[in-house]
């Protein structure tokens, strides 16, 4: 066990260091793409195999592996210790499994990039950090992973650093995440102060101690609420929820495999993982739970309404991710932590598949772009339209050719059949068409929200309804994305003679595997009426597992449960069919958006402006800080604080210059002063 | 290796070897001979100082005397002696000083082009001064070393500095001198008072006697401020910090590294060695005030750093912010926080030292410190960029690198502390957000984007020497980030002893306040069970 865990953790780190340092210091090494990519992929694939071994040998008892002491001071004693239990195993399987596929995919996708070595080093480092996050036995090692994945996210969003836009997006991601991390830190402070204040001996912020009923009993209701909310704020940063979701859409500036791995399948789910890990604690703060559910529901619907207006294929997927994460928080908030984790898993399959599919599409569209450039249809990079009249070739929108814009796509199913089929399957999965994976996990989330409402928490009906509406929207915007990309006729210039090709096998194999998982992945979580949920049994384990759940007095009658199941089916199918056959994005192309515009009226503008959240933050947060630093604090430091120092110096100098006047050098003056002095002293003596 | 520790007079050797090297350097015929003398001396000093590290056993009490101690009476008739040794408080700082020695010498190798003999001799002399400050256990001896460090630094800034060097050098000397002269008044008063009370009327500056002596309540207030001011200026604590940006901007790279790396630590070290345990009641009474100043420093320093155009100035203000954390930790007076402050002193020396080294390397290539003159250089200098990013994240407190350990311990210990209001600690914690803001903003402007100045396109990446002097610091950033436990262990017991004594003495002085001629004496109490990592 000890060695296995060590290997799982150390392999990605070692290969990150190896590829990174070799690439940095030995320029000749950078050319060995297959070696770099192969080693990088193995560094994740081997841990996956090892995790499968652990999983198969797991007998229901959590095990903790200690390595060495990280830091110890006073009552604080933090160990590098890792925890193997149901929850960490599920997460590790997803991280290493999906991770290995995406590494494989990157071998082809990143081919020819001058930063190939850097990419794999960062990606492996990310896996290492993510494994620390999900395997940690205490909050601080979890936090190491938490900030570590943030670092890798920063490095990979800004991967193509010669474009300042990418670096700005990277900065935004890191700083917004740091705001969440700030809350995470405060939560740890509170926990430490409470536990060491009320018990003797050292405390290591470890889950074994913290989540034991006697430790949880030390916390008052107010403190619990504060801690739960602080962790939730931390989670809103990493998992892109209101109010800290703004960084995720911009994060799409990174290479597409990064969007798939970090910004869809794994890192962004760490907030959910955190809440699930702490579920015994969070469950004791009902107010926090309500807030989590409502914020999740609002995020879900807000992001879905934005997604429907986007034309950049990756941005549609990004907002879709925010929306799906909202679903997961909704699940957590209604107490269904195991469903949240279930949705983390199924979402990892279909969203990674969608992102990698979009990457394959972009790969193809880049081919189109290069060919068009070669033929002289597009201005070569760096030239403006004025310099190059051929730029004025007709695009379906204003501006330059953009390989990610769905308005230039269309009809790709003829050129990229594998990409098309896998994308379609994943689209149907996320839309919630049975028996694909998304149907079961999403349906269970909605059912749990309904169940809580049924047990007297009326607000839960509210989030349930929002969830239903979001489900319709999801089916519509995802079908729209599929139709605009793959159906209809090609809309790029010179489409008759300029054709993209299917991507190489390293890219299509992961697509096929992920599509297959999107088909079967849901069967581990069947609803009760269809035989019951394996994953529920595994994670909750009759109250002995790591994931807690609330006790419900009333069971939803079987008839209603069936009814809800069919309602879910109807909504998903209705959405898909509506988009396909009523709005007809396939045959009408981007034209069809007008139907949506007409339906939403002025709201559509709000959606497409993304509710102006970025602008509001810019105006009310960023600008005040920047301006106060530049216009108040820096000048204040120079004139007031330093001015005072120099003022004192000037004052002393001034006095000295005056006093210097006394030293006239004329002996008579000194003699006079002497006499006067004697007189004064004598007078004082006589009078005194 | 323990043979090293058994070298007789090893502490004195470590302190004075650099001074001997300085003397030799004066007579070496060639410039390159001077450089090599300086390098060999500092390397030898570092190797010798490993003897201190290996010879120090944290489990052995230093409640009565330091380890590896050396003591010789200095002035007959009074208890002022040459008294040096090692304990948990000074070991790591001394090691930091000797480690930075060769790095500073190597960083000056091509940077300093004129008056080479003078520069290296002064640098070596400065090292003796700093080591003396850390390793002294006599207040007069400490004071002498404390002032000795001013002179070489004055010349280093004033001769080898930038365009405005004279102003910066004079400001540095006068400002710190004001503080330390006032402290001298305090030293004398304390020496007489303690002599009268507990040393049979004989003036004493023996640290062990002074730390056991309970200064009467009435005198503690003003003495505290005399001692505080000297160290607060040195740290520098807001609002006494404005000499620092000037000194840093004007100083040559080596001067900036030694300034940020170790000279500032003399201030924070003075607070925990003298100010807090000598005047416990005043320290407790004014801790909330100091906490506020520290937190103002954290936030204000970060905001002002963000507004800078000059890279060195930005880092100088980041020091104000980072050292705010250290002061906060010290006045929290909990073991966690003070331990965090101890390790943060070392961490700041390593990461800020590295930042100044890297900026210095850029300056050597382009002769400008303005960030606007760079832009997009990651493309032309990837190795330099790598070290910069590593250092930036260490400095921003990323877990896994060194800066985090100190900041986390300081903040968690401050939250627990009864000295501070929770809101204050929450404000301090925003420092972790702000640090990311100004540091990432710096690398964004300097390293990323298209190359904006043609001359940067052909900029040479780091050479062998430059990589060589950054590697030890890079290793330490990771080592102290992931495995700080053995280092923390060195100071744990000593910190607990200081905190215990501070608390006990405060109570005893309080209790004796009503009795007119009561003498309070509370010797250092070694913690019963050292909370080591076993």
Nearest-CA distance A175 → chain B (Å): 6
Residue A203 has φ and ψ, to the nearest 5°, of -135, 135
Neighbours of A667 (CB within 10 A): 8
Under an 8 A CB cutoff, do A151 and B398 touch?
A: yes
Across the interface, which of B413, B415, B448 has its CB nearest the CB of A161? B448
**Is some CB atom of chain A closer than 8 A to the CB atom of B400?**
yes
Under an 8 A CB cutoff, do B307 and A630 touch?
A: yes
**Is some CB atom of chain A closer than 8 A to the CB atom of B171?**
yes
Neighbours of A22 (CB within 10 A): 19
Checking if the pLDDT of B256 tops 60, the result is yes
**Is some CB atom of chain A closer than 8 A to the CB atom of B484?**
yes
What single string gives the DSSP state of each residue in B126-143?
HHHHHHHHHHB-BHHHHH
Question: Average pLDDT by consecutive 10-residue portion of chain A (688 residues)?
Answer: 93 96 94 94 97 92 94 95 95 96 94 93 97 97 96 95 94 95 97 94 94 94 96 96 93 93 92 96 95 97 95 95 96 94 95 95 92 75 50 68 90 93 96 93 94 93 96 96 94 86 92 95 87 87 87 90 94 95 92 91 92 92 91 90 88 88 82 89 84
Under an 8 A CB cutoff, do B436 and A163 touch?
A: no
Of B57 and A542, the structure prediction assigns the larger pLDDT to: B57
What's the pTM value of the predicted model, to 2 decimals?
A: 0.94
Residues 100-119, chain B: which have Cβ within 8 Å of A?
A: none
Q: 3-state DSSP call for residue B462?
A: coil
Q: 3-state DSSP call for residue A113?
A: coil
Nearest-CA distance A161 → chain B (Å): 5
Across the interface, which of A68, A74, A140 has its CB nearest the CB of B336? A74
Considering only CB atoms, which chain A residues are within 8 Å of B306? 625-626, 629-630
Dihedral sign of CA atoms A4, A5, A10, A15 in order: positive
**Is some CB atom of chain A closer than 8 A to the CB atom of B448?**
yes
**Is some CB atom of chain A closer than 8 A to the CB atom of B449?**
yes
Let me know: does B238 contact B296? Beta carbons within 8 Å. Answer: yes
Q: Which residues pair with B75 in a beta bridge?
A: B80
Distance CA B181, CA A436 (A): 79
Under an 8 A CB cutoff, do B433 and A188 touch?
A: no
Distance CA A51, CA A91 (A): 10
- Report the residue of chain A nearest B461, measured CA to CA: A25
Dihedral sign of CA atoms A462, A463, A464, A468 in order: positive
Distance CA A28, CA A37 (A): 15
* pLDDT tens figures, B407-439: 999 999 999 999 999 999 999 999 999 999 999
Neighbours of A660 (CB within 10 A): 9
What ipTM, to 2 d.p.? 0.94
Q: Which two tokens stand for residue A147?
A: 């900030």
Question: To probe the interface with B, which of A19, A67, A70, A73 has the most B CB atoms within 10 Å?
Answer: A73
Nearest-CA distance A166 → chain B (Å): 9
Let me know: does A326 contact A352? Beta carbons within 8 Å. Answer: no
> C-alpha A152: how far from its chain's center?
11
Q: Which two tokens stand for residue A598?
A: 């007409």
- Report the residue of chain A nearest B534, measured CA to CA: A69
Under an 8 A CB cutoff, do B304 and A24 touch?
A: no
Distance CA B408, CA B399 (A): 9
pLDDT of residue B403: 94
Checking if the pLDDT of B316 tops 80, the result is yes
Distance CA A416, CA A405 (A): 17
Q: Which two tokens stand for residue A190?
A: 């509170």
- Report the residue of chain B nearest A624, measured CA to CA: B303
pLDDT of residue A379: 58
Distance CA B531, CA B489 (A): 8
* Secondary structure in 3-state letters for A546-562: CCCCCCCCCCCCHHHHH
Long-range contacts of residues A595-604, Cβ cutoff 8 Å, at least 24 apart = A596/A308, A596/A309, A603/A305, A604/A309
Under an 8 A CB cutoff, do B409 and A71 touch?
A: yes
Question: To probe the interface with B, which of A74, A136, A190 has the most B CB atoms within 10 Å?
Answer: A74
Nearest-CA distance A133 → chain B (Å): 12
Residues with Cβ within 8 Å of residue B298, at least 6 apart in sequence: B321, B324, B325, B328, B427, B428, B431, B434
Q: Which two tokens stand for residue B4?
A: 């090293």
Under an 8 A CB cutoff, do B449 and A171 touch?
A: no
Under an 8 A CB cutoff, do A625 and B413 touch?
A: no
Q: Which two tokens stand for residue A422?
A: 């896998």
- Report the residue of chain A nearest B304, measured CA to CA: A634
Torsion on CA atoms B454, B455, B457, B463, rounded to nearest 10: -170
* pLDDT tens figures, B466-510: 999 999 999 999 999 999 999 999 999 999 999 999 999 999 999
Domain boundary assignment for chain B = 10-533
How big is chain B, counted in residues? 534
Q: Give the DSSP H/E element, type plus range, for residue B294.
A: helix B280-306
CA end-to-end distance (rounded Å), chain B: 24
Distance CA B55, CA A58 (A): 48
CB-based burial, A501-512: b 16+ in 10 Å, e otherwise: ebbeebbbebbb
Considering only CB atoms, which chain A residues are within 8 Å of B488? 71-73
What single string gives the DSSP state of each residue in A192-237?
HHHHHHHS-S-B--BHHHHTSHHHHTTS-HHHHHHHHHHHHHHHHH
**Is some CB atom of chain A closer than 8 A to the CB atom of B181?**
no
Considering only CB atoms, which chain A residues are within 8 Å of B444? 164, 167-168, 171
Distance CA B444, CA B450 (A): 11
**Is some CB atom of chain A closer than 8 A to the CB atom of B7?**
no
Under an 8 A CB cutoff, do B408 and A140 touch?
A: yes
Let me know: does A367 contact A500? Beta carbons within 8 Å. Answer: yes
pLDDT of residue B534: 37
Under an 8 A CB cutoff, do A181 and B415 touch?
A: no
Distance CA B274, CA B225 (A): 12
Across the interface, which of A75, A154, A628 has its CB nearest the CB of B336? A75
- Report the residue of chain A nearest B436, measured CA to CA: A175
pLDDT of residue B533: 40
**B530: pLDDT confidence band, cut at 50, 70 and 90?**
very low
- Report the residue of chain A nearest B479, measured CA to CA: A70
- Report the residue of chain B nearest A635, measured CA to CA: B304
Residues with Cβ within 8 Å of residue B236, at least 6 apart in sequence: B243, B244, B264, B267, B320, B323
> C-alpha B516: how far from its chain's center?
40
**Is some CB atom of chain A closer than 8 A to the CB atom of B409?**
yes
Q: What angle do CA A46, A51, A53 make, to 5 degrees?
A: 100
Distance CA A392, CA A370 (A): 16
Q: State the count of interchain CB pairs (< 8 A) between A and B.
A: 158
Alpha helices, DSSP H, located in A557-641? 558-577, 585-588, 593-600, 602-608, 613-617, 623-627, 634-636
pLDDT of residue A545: 87
Distance CA A238, CA A535 (A): 25
Question: To probe the interface with B, which of A13, A29, A71 has the most B CB atoms within 10 Å?
Answer: A71
pLDDT of residue A662: 80
Q: What angle do CA B445, B348, A643 make, to 5 degrees?
A: 70
DSSP conformation class of A107: H
Residue A112 has φ and ψ, to the nearest 5°, of 90, -5
Neighbours of B120 (CB within 10 A): 28
Q: 3-state DSSP call for residue A68?
A: strand
Q: Measuring CA to CA, how many Å separate A308 from each of A319, A407, B330, B394?
A: 9, 14, 55, 41
Distance CA A112, CA A36 (A): 12
Under an 8 A CB cutoff, do A164 and B531 touch?
A: no
**Is some CB atom of chain A closer than 8 A to the CB atom of B184?**
no
Under an 8 A CB cutoff, do A158 and B485 touch?
A: no
Q: 3-state DSSP call for residue B67?
A: strand
Let me know: does B497 contact B524? Beta carbons within 8 Å. Answer: yes
* pLDDT tens figures, B58-93: 999 998 999 999 999 988 889 999 999 999 999 999
Residues with Cβ within 8 Å of residue A279, at least 6 apart in sequence: A332, A337, A546, A547, A548, A549
Helix and strand numbers (H, E) in chain A are 30, 2
DSSP conformation class of A683: H
Q: Give the DSSP H/E element, type plus range, for residue B72.
A: strand B67-75
CB-based burial, B3-19: b 16+ in 10 Å, e otherwise: ebbeeeebbbbbbbbbb
Q: Which residues pair with B84 in a beta bridge?
A: B70, B136
Distance CA B413, CA B463 (A): 42
Considering only CB atoms, which chain B residues are within 8 Å of A644? 239
Under an 8 A CB cutoff, do A175 and B411 touch?
A: no
Considering only CB atoms, which chain A residues are within 8 Å of B424? none
**B512: pLDDT confidence band, cut at 50, 70 and 90?**
confident
Beta strands in A51-161 (DSSP E): 63-73, 76-84
- Report the residue of chain A nearest B383, measured CA to CA: A24
Distance CA A171, CA A386 (A): 33
Under an 8 A CB cutoff, do A151 and B482 touch?
A: no
Distance CA B99, CA A365 (A): 55
Distance CA B371, CA B375 (A): 7
Across the interface, which of A24, A174, A629 has its CB nearest the CB of B386? A24
* pLDDT tens figures, B133-179: 999 999 999 999 999 999 999 999 999 988 899 999 999 999 999 98
Residue B408 has φ and ψ, to the nearest 5°, of -65, -50
């Amino acid at each position: 066990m000890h060695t296995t865990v060590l290997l799982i953790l150390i392999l990605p780190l070692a290969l990150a260091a190896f590829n990174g340092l070799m690439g940095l210091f030995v320029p000749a090494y950078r050319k060995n793409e297959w070696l770099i990519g192969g080693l990088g992929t193995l560094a994740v694939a081997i841990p996956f195999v090892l995790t499968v071994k652990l999983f198969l040998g797991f007998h229901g008892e959590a095990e903790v592996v200690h390595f060495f002491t990280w830091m110890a001071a006073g009552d604080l004693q933090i160990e590098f210790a890792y925890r193997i239990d149901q929850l960490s195993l599920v997460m590790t399987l997803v991280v290493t499994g999906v991770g290995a596929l995406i590494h494989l995919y990157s071998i082809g996708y990143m081919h020819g990039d001058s930063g190939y070595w850097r990419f794999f080093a960062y990606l492996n480092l990310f896996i290492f950090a993510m494994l620390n996050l999900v395997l940690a036995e205490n909050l601080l090692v979890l936090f190491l992973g938490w900030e570590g994945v943030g670092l890798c996210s920063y490095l990979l969003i800004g991967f193509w650093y010669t474009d300042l836009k990418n670096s700005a997006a990277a900065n935004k991601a890191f700083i917004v995440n740091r705001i969440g991390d700030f809350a995470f830190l405060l939560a740890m402070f509170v926990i430490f102060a409470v536990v060491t204040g009320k018990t003797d001996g050292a405390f290591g912020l470890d889950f074994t101690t913290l989540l034991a009923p006697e430790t949880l009993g030390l916390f008052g209701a107010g403190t619990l609420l504060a801690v739960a909310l602080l962790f939730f704020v931390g989670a809103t940063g990493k998992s892109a929820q209101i109010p800290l979701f703004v960084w995720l859409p911009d994060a799409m500036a990174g290479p597409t495999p990064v969007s798939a791995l970090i910004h869809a399948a794994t890192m962004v789910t760490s907030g959910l993982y955190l809440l699930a890990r702490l579920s015994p604690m969070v469950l004791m703060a009902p107010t926090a739970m309500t807030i989590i559910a409502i914020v999740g529901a609002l995020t879900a619907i807000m992001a879905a309404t934005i997604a429907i207006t986007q034309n950049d294929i990756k941005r549609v997927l990004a907002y879709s991710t925010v929306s799906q994460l909202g679903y997961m928080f909704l699940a957590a908030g209604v107490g269904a932590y195991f469903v949240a984790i279930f949705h983390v898993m199924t979402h990892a399959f279909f969203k990674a598949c969608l992102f990698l599919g979009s990457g394959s599409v972009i790969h193809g569209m880049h081919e189109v772009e290069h060919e068009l450039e070669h033929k002289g249809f597009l201005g070569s990079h760096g030239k403006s339209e004025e310099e190059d009249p051929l730029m004025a070739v007709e695009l379906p929108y204003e501006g330059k050719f953009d390989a990610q814009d769905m308005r230039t796509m269309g009809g790709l199913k003829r050129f990229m059949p594998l990409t098309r089929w896998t994308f379609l399957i994943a689209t149907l999965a996320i839309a919630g068409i049975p028996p694909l994976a998304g149907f079961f996990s999403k349906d269970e989330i909605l059912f749990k929200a309904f169940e809580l409402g049924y047990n007297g928490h009326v607000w839960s009906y509210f989030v349930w309804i929002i969830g239903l509406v979001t489900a319709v929207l999801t089916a519509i915007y995802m079908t729209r994305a599929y139709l605009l990309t793959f159906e209809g006729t090609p809309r790029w210039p010179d489409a008759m003679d300029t054709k993209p090709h299917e991507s190489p096998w390293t890219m299509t194999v992961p697509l096929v595997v992920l599509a297959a998982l999107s088909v079967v992945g849901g069967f581990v979580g069947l609803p009760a009426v269809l035989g019951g949920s394996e994953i529920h049994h595994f994670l909750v384990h009759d109250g002995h597992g790591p994931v807690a759940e609330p006790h419900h007095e009333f069971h939803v009658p079987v008839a209603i449960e069936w009814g809800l199941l069919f309602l879910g089916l109807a909504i998903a199918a209705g959405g898909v069919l509506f988009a396909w056959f009523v709005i007809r994005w396939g045959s009408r192309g981007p034209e069809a958006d007008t139907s949506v515009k007409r339906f939403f009226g002025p709201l559509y503008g709000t959606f497409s402006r993304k509710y102006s959240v970025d602008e509001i933050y810019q105006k009310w947060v960023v600008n005040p800080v920047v301006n106060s630093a530049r216009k108040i604090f820096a000048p204040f430091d120079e004139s007031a604080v330093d001015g005072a120092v120099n003022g004192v110096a000037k004052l002393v100098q001034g006095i000295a210059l005056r006093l210097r006047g006394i030293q006239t050098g004329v002996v008579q003056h000194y003699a006079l002063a002497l006499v006067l002095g004697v007189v004064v002293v004598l007078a004082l003596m006589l009078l005194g | 290796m323990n043979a090293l520790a058994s070298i007789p007079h090893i502490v004195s050797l470590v302190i004075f070897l650099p001074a001997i090297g300085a003397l030799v350097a004066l007579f070496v015929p060639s410039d390159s001979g001077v450089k090599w003398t300086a390098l060999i001396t500092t390397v030898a000093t570092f190797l010798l100082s490993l003897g201190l590290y290996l010879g120090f056993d944290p489990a052995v009490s230093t409640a009565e005397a330091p380890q590896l101690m050396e003591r010789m009476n200095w002035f007959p008739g009074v208890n002022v002696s040459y008294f040096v040794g090692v304990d948990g408080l000074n070991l790591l700082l001394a090691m930091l000083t000797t480690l930075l020695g060769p790095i500073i010498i190597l960083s000056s190798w091509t940077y300093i082009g004129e008056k080479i003999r003078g520069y290296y001799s002064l640098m070596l002399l400065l090292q003796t001064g700093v080591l003396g400050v850390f390793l002294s256990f006599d207040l007069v001896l400490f004071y002498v070393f404390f002032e000795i460090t001013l002179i070489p630094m004055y010349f280093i800034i004033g001769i080898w500095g930038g365009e405005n060097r004279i102003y910066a050098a004079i400001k540095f000397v006068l400002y710190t001198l004001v503080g330390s002269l006032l402290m001298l008044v305090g030293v004398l008063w304390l020496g007489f008072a303690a002599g009268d009370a507990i040393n049979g009327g004989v003036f004493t500056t023996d640290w062990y006697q002074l730390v056991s002596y309970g200064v009467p309540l009435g005198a503690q207030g003003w003495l505290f401020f005399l001692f505080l001011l000297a160290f607060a200026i040195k740290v520098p604590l807001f609002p006494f910090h404005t000499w620092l940006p000037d000194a840093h901007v004007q100083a040559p790279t080596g001067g900036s590294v030694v300034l940020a790396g170790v000279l500032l630590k003399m201030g924070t070290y003075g607070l925990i060695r003298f100010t807090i345990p000598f005047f416990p009641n005043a320290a407790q009474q004014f801790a909330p005030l100091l906490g506020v100043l520290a937190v103002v420093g954290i936030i204000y320093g970060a905001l002002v750093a963000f507004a800078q155009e000059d890279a060195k100035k930005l880092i100088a203000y980041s020091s104000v912010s980072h050292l705010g954390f250290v002061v906060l930790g010290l006045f929290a007076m909990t073991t966690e926080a003070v331990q965090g402050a101890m390790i943060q002193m070392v961490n700041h020396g390593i990461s800020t030292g590295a930042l100044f080294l890297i900026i210095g390397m850029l300056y050597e290539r382009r002769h400008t410190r303005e960030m606007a003159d760079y832009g997009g250089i990651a493309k032309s200098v990837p190795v330099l960029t790598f070290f910069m990013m590593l250092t930036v994240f260490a400095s921003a407190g990323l877990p896994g690198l060194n800066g985090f350990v100190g900041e986390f311990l300081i903040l968690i210990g401050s939250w627990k502390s009864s000295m501070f209001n929770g809101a204050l600690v929450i404000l301090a914690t925003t420092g972790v957000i702000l640090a990311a803001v100004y540091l990432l903003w710096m690398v964004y402007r300097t390293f990323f984007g298209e190359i904006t100045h043609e001359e940067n396109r052909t900029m040479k990446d780091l050479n062998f020497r430059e990589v060589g002097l950054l590697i030890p610091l890079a290793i330490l950033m990771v080592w102290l980030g992931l495995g700080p436990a053995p280092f923390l262990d060195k100071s744990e017991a000593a910190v607990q002893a200081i905190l215990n004594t501070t608390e006990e003495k405060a109570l005893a002085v309080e209790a004796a306040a009503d009795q007119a001629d009561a003498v309070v004496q509370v010797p250092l109490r070694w913690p019963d069970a050292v909370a080591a990592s076993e």
